[in-house]
Structure 1
Amino acid sequence: MTQEERQLEELREMVAEVLELEPGELTDTGHFVDDYEADSLRAIEILARIDKTYKVEIPQSELPRLDNLKAVHAALLRYSGDRG
């Protein structure tokens, strides 16, 4: 398993916990609002956990685009690459 795959699985566990799901229930492309009934407070909590865990600040302006696990992971990679 690559580092990127491990990171995706860590994110899956973190997001599943916030959404009160089992990690296996959370797919890469499942829509947080439509499929898992998430609200904006949960999205903000996901960002806060990413910031705390990975020391990466993803701006809240990104929230509308962070609608599934794959998008969250892409943002994490994008913003962690900006550190420098």
Structure 2
Amino acid sequence: MANVTAEQAATIKEIVCEILELEEDEVTGESLFREDHGADSLRAIEILASLEKEFKVTIDQAELSRMVNLNGVYEVLAESAGW
């Protein structure tokens, strides 16, 4: 996992699960948002915006292509936040 603390990872997962309307035990680091959980592109943008607000960072929308699962979100967010 990227340089994300356990606390940050828990917050990220909570945000993602809330937006995808899933229980936390349904989402793993590798489970794909679109293929495994039926998320559409609007949900992906909502995840990006929520993470930007929560962590006070700016994430380039081009990074959405990497944010297909929790591990991808951790990596993009860590890079954007400079963790």
CA-to-aligned-CA distance 1:45-66 (integer Å, 9 cap, x gap): 0000011100011110111111
AA matched with 2:40: D
Q: Which has the larger radius of gyration?
A: 1
Q: Mark the runs of 5 or more structure 1 residues left unpaired by the alignment.
A: none
Please provide the CA RMSD for this pair.
1.3
1:47 maps to 48
1:6 maps to 7
1:31 maps to 32
Q: Could you tell me how far apart the structure 1 residues matched to 2:46 and 2:78 are?
A: 18
Q: Could you tell me how far apart the structure 2 residues matched to 1:13 and 1:50 are?
A: 11
Figure out how many residues of one structure are paired with residues of the other and give that number.
Answer: 80
Percent of residue pairs identical? 45
Q: Mark the runs of 5 or more structure 2 residues left unpaired by the alignment.
A: none
> Secondary structure, in 3 states, of the residue corresponding to 2:5?
helix
More RCO (CA 8 Å, sep 6+):
2
> Secondary structure, in 3 states, of the residue corresponding to 2:39?
coil
2:22 maps to 21
CA-to-aligned-CA distance 1:16-48 (integer Å, 9 cap, x gap): 000000111111110001000000000000000
AA matched with 2:25: G
